[in-house]
Chain A
Amino acid sequence: MVNVLDLPEEELIYPGTRACAGCSMALIYRIALKALGKNTIITVPASCLTVLHGMQGFCTTKVSVLHTPFATTGASASGIVASLEDKGLNEDINVVAFAGDGGTVDIGIQSLSGAVERGTNFIFACYDNEAYMNTGVQRSGSTPPGAFSTTTPDGKIGYKKDMPKILEAHGVPYVATAISSYPLDLYEKFSRAKEIYGPKYIHILAPCPPGWGYEPKDSIKIGRLAVQTGFWPLYEVIEGKFQLSKDSRRYLDPKKRKPIEEYLSLQKRFRNISDEIIANYRDYIDNLWKDIKTRTKEEN
């Protein structure tokens, strides 16, 4: 387990970006860049992360960034990797696609699937703020049930796509979940991913103050509740082997999990959620952890 002092002190992202106050995506990006280091090329589709990088003529990071059309993120990563291989530079440079949930689970899924199937040596990181935030909070395939968005004014009907499972089904050598509230775990996962050859996928839950409806100071607390209630388990699947991360291990015991209401009630987007949907959350979490328990036993 890394310690706070193991993280490089140098910042690869400059202060004074356009991200909202308390944006956990900005924290995720900051920590991920520390793990990846300067020899990194980032490719980003339209999203809040595009905005964070600034206007034409400027860049807020010390790493190279390619802004790519929405549906092309995976393909653009394959292109960058191919050109680096051609120049013999592929061993030294990390190629990382960084996309929002809309850009990953909806619009970017085909080119991501293609890049992964081609065996592209890259990391695809999805920061999941659970809606199309940059354009004003429209629902995505990653919006959870019961959540308000401007296109689901009465709360989303349906479910949240399990993107890490979809990537696991592609047989990639590394899949992980993470969250901004556990930055050391996040740092370890990016550090591990960059050492593995082939396609890597990291799905990071990213609380968003204006989109979820809470005060900016609570970004870390809310993310922690997502883990403490069991809603967002932290894990890795390395070469097909499932491993529950340290910060989630205690929640194998259902009694240790906090009630899901503690998480939902702090966010205005769940203001009108029905008891039926809350009950569905409880079932969802129970089933999720039954599966995790089985996998933890069988694969370790």
Chain B
Amino acid sequence: MTDTKNDYQKILGSVQKPVKGEAGKTGSWSPKKPIIDIEKCIPAKSGKPSCFNCWLYCPEAVVSRTIPPKIDFDYCKGCGICMEECPVKAITMEEVSIE
């Protein structure tokens, strides 16, 4: 007798768990990290929610849409897209040591 339900469970394993850092701490992929100059950053200067290009364009979802935006270096891959897309050049890529 085949037990289809159990067979499927054997094949599928456990329910897939949604997790952060499935590929580990991807921040280790690059020592270069974006540093925001809050003297230049538009929402930080005005205190009003606007711009947020760094949040919008980040492929990794590691930037927060807050004033000022915060970046999670544990997972930021250091691609530099946020630096390129910041309209006021408030972001520079700098070497940051992360353990």
Contacts and interface: CB of A to CB of B under 8 A. Distances in A.
B56 A183 contact: yes
A14 B59 contact: no
Interface in A204-257: 215-221
A30 B59 contact: yes
Contacts of B57: 27, 183, 220
A298 B81 CA distance: 40
Interface in B13-72: 13-14, 16-26, 29-30, 49, 51-53, 55-62, 65, 72
Contact of B18 (A18, A56, A60, A218): A60
A71 B26 CA distance: 32
Contacts of B16: 56-59, 65
A217 B22 contact: no
A23 to B, nearest CB: 5
A217 B84 contact: yes
A16 interface: yes
A220 B18 contact: no
B87 to A, nearest CB: 12
Interface string A75-108: 0000000000000000000000000000000000
A17 B83 contact: no
B23 A216 contact: no
A27 B82 CA distance: 12
B18 A59 contact: yes
A30 to B, nearest CB: 6
Interface size range on A against B: 35 or more
Interface stretch (A5-13, A138-146, A260-268, A269-277): A5-13
Given A14-B22, A18-B22, A59-B19, A217 B61 contact: no
A21 interface: yes
Contact of A15 (B49, B72, B84): B72
B30 A21 contact: yes
A16 B74 CA distance: 8
Nearest to A5: B49
Contacts of A57: 13-14, 16-17
A226 B29 CA distance: 28
A21 B21 contact: no
Q: How large is the interface on B (under 10, 10 to 19, 20 to 34, 35 or more residues)?
A: 35 or more
B52 A15 contact: no
Nearest to B61: A11
Contacts of A30: 59, 61
Contacts of A5: 49, 52
Nearest to B27: A16
Contacts of A7: 56
B1 to A, nearest CB: 26
A54 interface: yes
A220 B60 contact: no
A1 interface: no
Given A59-B16, A59-B18, A9 B65 contact: yes
Interface string A14-45: 11111111111011001000000000000000
Nearest to A62: B18
A22 B59 contact: yes
Given A16-B75, A19-B59, A54 B22 contact: yes
24 contacts: A13-B61, A14-B19, A15-B60, A15-B74, A16-B22, A16-B75, A17-B22, A17-B60, A18-B22, A18-B23, A21-B78, A22-B59, A22-B79, A22-B81, A54-B23, A56-B16, A58-B16, A58-B17, A59-B19, A61-B18, A183-B57, A218-B84, A219-B59, A220-B57
